[in-house]
Structure 1
Amino acid sequence: MKRSINIFYLISCLFFVGCESDEVEELPPNIVVFLVDDMGWQDTSVPFHTEQTTQNKKFHTPYMEKLAAQGMKFTQAYATPVCSPSRVSLMTGMNAARHRVTNWTLRKDSLQPMEKNHDSLQFPEWNVNGLSPVDGNPKSVHAMPLAQALSDIGYYTVHAGKAHLGAIGTPGENPMNLGFQVNIAGHAAGAPESYLGEENFGNGKKGKEVWAVPGLEKYHGKDIFLTEALTQEALSALDTAVTSQQPFFLYMSHYAVHTPIMADKRFFQKYLEKGLDSTEAKYASLVEGMDKSLGDIMQYLEDKKVADNTVVLFMSDNGGLSAHARGGGDPHTHNLPLSSGKGSMREGGIREPMLAKWPDKIEPGTQSGYQVIIEDFYPTILEMAGVDSLNTVQKVDGQSFVPVLKGEKEYDGLRSLHWHYPNEWGPSGPGIGAASTIRKGDWKLIYYHLDQQMELFNLKEDIGETNNLIEKESDKAAELAKDLTEHLKDVDAQMPTYKISGKQVPYPAELFTEVQP
């Protein structure tokens, strides 16, 4: 263990001028990334809008409230519309258009069924096998995973929960191939067959083997919810690092609040009594169970007296589910005032609840409108760990937001954010379907591949994306279409083709004249 501390001291001497042998060694921070699955911007009692909304009042997340009070709340944080692209971006620092894991992964070498059967579009052969730590694996993106980079400099790396980084039978399906020294229940699938210990978390169900949560046999047959079991196992794993005073990286990646929407009975009844229908009451109980996990981790850090040197980053991998399976409202309304939800390029599909705590670095109770995207986590976490530079095999698109956390930088409106989904998710709804998107400042342009239509919104004035300004603000639309096209070409983004003509979907700038007034 002493060797790990010396490694960090050596690194600091290499990167910072003036290291002397009698200087007090500063330990690197522990880092917790708390990632929730399918949690929407409004699925919390913490208001991320300008005021508390009806949706906020539906949920009870006291530990998110506590984390927000202790750190910084980001009101304009983004991921991708679906899960695997976000997770690979987090682990590589690459924009999804560049790493080409643009849809959710599962079966080796295979497009998703809904992509194979699309009426009009032929989808590209995207990287269906996910993330690979070694070169040469077909239909995979080769990259230096975040956990490997941290492990290499002495961090104790723990993965707990949903992985969904690589297809079945590929290196990326197992987090231990990606630099994690401990893997708790992570595998290729992106959802649990069951959240219930009494149902063995889906193990033993014939025909459902791919969805069964692995590695939690000690809880089989017991009255315990998956979220709780994962938390207990994660904290047990951290004891090794805490006891030996080794810096740790915990990737607490919950299966919650993904479907199946099942009741966490610790919290379910209270939501029924509040008047929620049964489905939404179950969903709210999933949310509160997730929040309790956050609280348990924060309490553990306090009890072990490591909270003062631990970074906690809270994020979701895509927008809240709303196209189907939810109760308590019409489809596409569960993230209001944001439009649509998971699978969509509208704000409800990509804007996420994000919180950050870094003692003595972040001023407690602060808020930032800085626009952050999921690939930014990679360089940010490495900078927190003391890595000033890293020779990676991949081009890192993300930008560190450490200066934002320290209050040294505010958003200047010049940076562009990009999304690319040349794929098919399944359901229909606002913003759902194959599309490319850019946000620059307050402006956002969505380009739909199927019908070559565009939408332009000013999010400062119209957060609900109700007023398409594509004709009224044609100059701004042209500017964004040009910028988006340059990005797609720069990263060699894949585009679908039309089945009838065999021609590639054009870049947005190429047919912008068709939407001129």
Structure 2
Amino acid sequence: MQIKKIILLLLVVLSGTNSQAQKNARPNIIVFLVDDMGWMDTSVPFADSIMPLNRRYHTPNMERLAATGVKFTNAYAQPVCTPSRTSMLTGMNAARTRITNWTSPDKNIDSDAGDQQFAPLGWNRNGLSSVPGTGHTAYATPFPQLLKEAGYYTIQVGKAHWGAAGTPGANPYNLGFMVNIAGHAGGHPQSYLSEQRYGNMPGKAQMQAVPDLEEYYDTHTFLTEALTREALKALENPIRRKEPFYLNMCQYAVHTPIMADPRFVQKYYDAGLDSVEAAYASLLEGMDKSLGDIMDYLQRKGVAGNTIVIFMSDNGGLDHHQRGGAVNTHNSPLRSGKGAVYEGGIREPMIVKWPGVTRAGTVNSSPVIIEDFFPSILEMARVGSVHTVQQVDGRSFVPLLKNIQKPAARPLIFHYPHKWINIRTNEEAKLGINYYTAMRYDHWKLIYRMRTQGFELYDLSKDLRETNDLAQVEKEQVKKLALIFGRTLKERSAQMPVDKRTGKAVPFPDEAIQ
């Protein structure tokens, strides 16, 4: 009897010790980053009520994540992908990195469309580099490197698109990742189909062909599914060894080419969507299945209780081209879409689940931006004081997750001194595309049109659609915000385009207002 009591006592002590060890263990962290997903591309409502587009799409696993975590309704990225992705890794705003457009997969190629008014901009067209002295790059210390040094097992799966081929930033191993699956200089897949070998057909492969997935060729495995399976394989080692891990799960979906995921597309045909929109909806549902598969895997392996999951998109959804239906409807009620500084181009669906920290089913309306991921993830991982070669602009949103404080207002900058696509000038003004820069400050949104040095002002607390321009009514507010805007851009050494006619750079917002 005495021996049984001793054994029971030991079991209780060991159980308590194991429970305490789990509690004290550094959390695993997963960032699930979607490509080109808009704020409304989900059955999860991020607005105050369910909108028609929420009823179009089926994302039950996003619903599940939101029900167990916190939904951020004012989360932002940049208008296009590489600026957002490099800001996330470095904590620097795109105005500071000078990676303000998407990087071509080829080295030293300017992705800007030619323009009659403005000369080509000397921006960092080769993207991010962890090595100093690399031409046309932003030199920085990426947070995966800091996590790796702190003992995390770091994994990159899917789209990378941080730097051009032939530069250090094209290779995830140079940025602190210990495992890389399908991440390279390409910005979208050549194909989602295994029958087309994800673009790797002999004699037809381009720089956008997705690498590393030969196992799935000709197996009828959609790209989204193949990446998910490889991610789960990569997690086996750290989970078995009980090492903390960081997974950068970056689906290529829902970027073009818009190709139907055969597992899900029929329901959207049956709902009456045209072929393009049905295919787009199926890409979204396939992405959502990937999220669910990963969450299920964490449960099966017994690590869900110590794994943080952060869901985010890198820019707004496509609106004005390569979609079915009318322009300026695909992100409604938000205006415009990818490439624009209007809300449709920069406001993103973001959800965070941190077991034991976030309260299930909560909503946070504080504005956050993608460079905030850098300090937030390091704080979550309990990585103390670190040395970085760059100045970090991001601010940790961990206090928001812990509901500790309401943050003070700060300028959120969306700087796009480029010509993304060739469209008519009147369409540029309608869509907020090409040579625009914008700042959100509290509930105010100030937009600066570089072509004309004109301003637009919106009160987002009352005008989410950005239809009521208050610039001529709230002139003092415009002046106040323009001073903050210009000062912030200058402090970050932002670039402004140079007018071919005068040879002078466009004045900063604070200069244009005087």
Name the TM-score, length of structure 1 as normaliser.
0.93
Q: Which residue of 1 aligns with 2:63?
A: 65
Q: 1:113 to 1:124 in 2, by over 3 A?
A: closer
Q: Which amino acid aligns with 1:355?
A: I
What is the alpha-carbon distance in structure 2 between the residues aligned to residue 195 and residue 489 of structure 1? 42
Residue 332 of structure 1: how far off its partner (Å): 2.2
- Report the counterpart of residue 130 of structure 2 in structure 1: 133
2:189, 2:331 → 1: CA distance? 23
Q: Which moved more, 1:503-512 or 1:105-114?
A: 105-114
- Alpha-carbon distance between aligned partners in 1 of 2:328 and 2:420, rounded to the nearest angstrom: 15
Mapped partners of 1:224, 1:208: distance in 2: 19
Kept in 2: contact 1:123–1:422 (CA 8 A): no
Distance 2:513 2:171 in 1: 44
Amino acid at match of 2:419: E
Alignment of 1:298-337 (within 5 A): 298-327=295-324, 329-337=325-333
Tell me, in whole angstroms, the C-alpha distance in 2 between the residues paired with 1:206 and 1:189.
18
Q: Provide the C-alpha distance between the structure 1 equivalents of 2:204 and 2:96, rounded to a whole number of angstroms.
A: 35
Aligned partners of 2:74 and 2:52: how far apart in 1? 20
Root-mean-square deviation over aligned CA pairs? 1.2
Q: Where does structure 1 differ by over 4 angstroms across 4 or more consecutive aligned residues?
A: none
Separation in structure 2 between the aligned mates of residue 24 and residue 102 of structure 1, nearest angstrom:
44
Moved more, 196-205 or 349-358: 196-205
Paired position in structure 1 for 2:95: 97
Is 1:288 matched with 2:289?
no
Q: Which residue of 2 aligns with 1:421?
A: 416
Partner of 2:35: 37
Distance 1:24 1:30, change over 3 A: closer
Task: Tell whether 2:271 aligns with 1:274.
Answer: yes
Unaligned runs of 5+ in 1: 1-22
Query: SS of the counterpart of 2:452?
Result: coil
Specify the code of the residue in structure 2 equivalent to 1:129.
Answer: N
Amino acid paired to 2:470: L
Report the Cα offset of residue 39 of structure 1: 0.1
User: Counterparts of 1:319 and 1:266 in 2: how far apart (Å)?
Assistant: 25
Q: Which runs of 5+ in 2 are unaligned?
A: 1-19
The residue that corresponds to 2:217 in the other structure is: 220
Deviation of 1:24 after TM superposition, in Å, equals 5.3
Conservation of the 8 A alpha-carbon contact between 2:71 and 2:364: yes
Q: Is the 8 A contact 1:323 1:427 kept in 2?
A: no
Q: Which residue of 1 aligns with 2:450?
A: 449
1:133-152 CA distances to partner (integer Å, 9 max, x unpaired)? 11111111111111111111
Deviation (angstroms), 1:427: 4.9
Counterpart of 1:238 (choices 235, 239, 242) is: 235
Q: Which residue of 2 aligns with 1:48?
A: 46
Segment drifting more, 150-159 vs 23-32: 23-32
For the Cα contact (< 8 Å) 1:123–1:495, is it kept in 2?
no
Do the aligned partners of 1:132 and 1:141 also contact (CA within 8 Å) in 2?
A: yes
Structure 1 residue 410 displacement after superposition: 2.4
Q: Aligned equivalents of 2:381 and 2:124: distance in 1?
A: 30
Match of 1:498 in 2: 499
Q: 1:24 to 1:324 in 2, by over 3 A?
A: closer
| Residues 369, 411 of structure 1: 8 Å contact kept | no
* 455-464 vs 118-127, greater mean Cα deviation: 118-127
Alpha-carbon shift at residue 468 of structure 1 (Å): 0.8
- 1:169-180 residue pairs with structure 2 within 5 A? 169-180=166-177
User: Aligned partners of 1:411 and 1:143: how far apart in 2?
Assistant: 27
Name the aligned partner's letter for residue 386 of structure 1: R
Q: Distance in 1 between the 2:60 and 2:118 partners?
A: 45
Q: Which residue of 2 aligns with 1:365?
A: 361
Equivalent residue for 1:112? 111
Amino acid in the other structure paired with 1:392? T
Decide whether the 8 Å contact of 2:112 with 2:418 is kept in 1: no
User: What is the one-letter code of the residue matched to 1:108?
Assistant: K
2-structure distance, mates of 1:123, 1:374 = 27
Distance 2:468 2:69 in 1: 35
Letter in 1 for 2:346: I
Residues 1:344 and 2:343 aligned together? no
Give the whole-Å Cα distance in 2 for the aligned partners of 1:242 and 1:270. 37
Matches within 5 A, 1:380-419: 380-412=376-408, 414-419=409-414
1:83 is matched with 81
Q: What is the aligned partner in structure 2 of residue 253 from structure 1?
A: 250
**TM superposition score normalised by structure 2:** 0.93
The one-letter code of the counterpart of 2:457 is L
TM-fit CA distance, 1:369:
0.2
Q: Distance in 2 between matches of 1:101 and 1:90?
A: 12
State how far apart, in whole Å, the 2-side matches of 1:222 and 1:197 are: 6
Counterpart residue type for residue 367 of structure 2: Q
Mark the CA change 1:208 to 1:424 in structure 2 (over 3 Å): closer, same or farther.
Answer: farther
8 A Cα contact 2:112 2:120, kept in partner: no
Displacement after TM superposition at 1:113 (Å): 5.0
- The separation in 2 between residues aligned to 1:243 and 1:496, in whole angstroms, is 52
Q: Distance in 1 between matches of 2:120 and 2:316?
A: 23
Which residue in the other structure is 2:8 paired with? none
Q: Provide Cα deviations, 1:308-328, integer angstroms capped at 9, x if missing partner.
A: 00000000000001110011x
Does the CA contact (< 8 Å) of 2:147 and 2:383 recur in 1?
no
The Cα shift of 1:222 comes to: 1.4
SS in 2 for 1:444: strand
Distance in 2, Cα, partners of 1:475 & 1:439:
16
Return the letter of the residue paired with 1:234: A
Write out per-residue CA displacement over residues 9-31 of structure 1, whole angstroms, 9 at most, x where no aligned residue: xxxxxxxxxxxxxx958110000
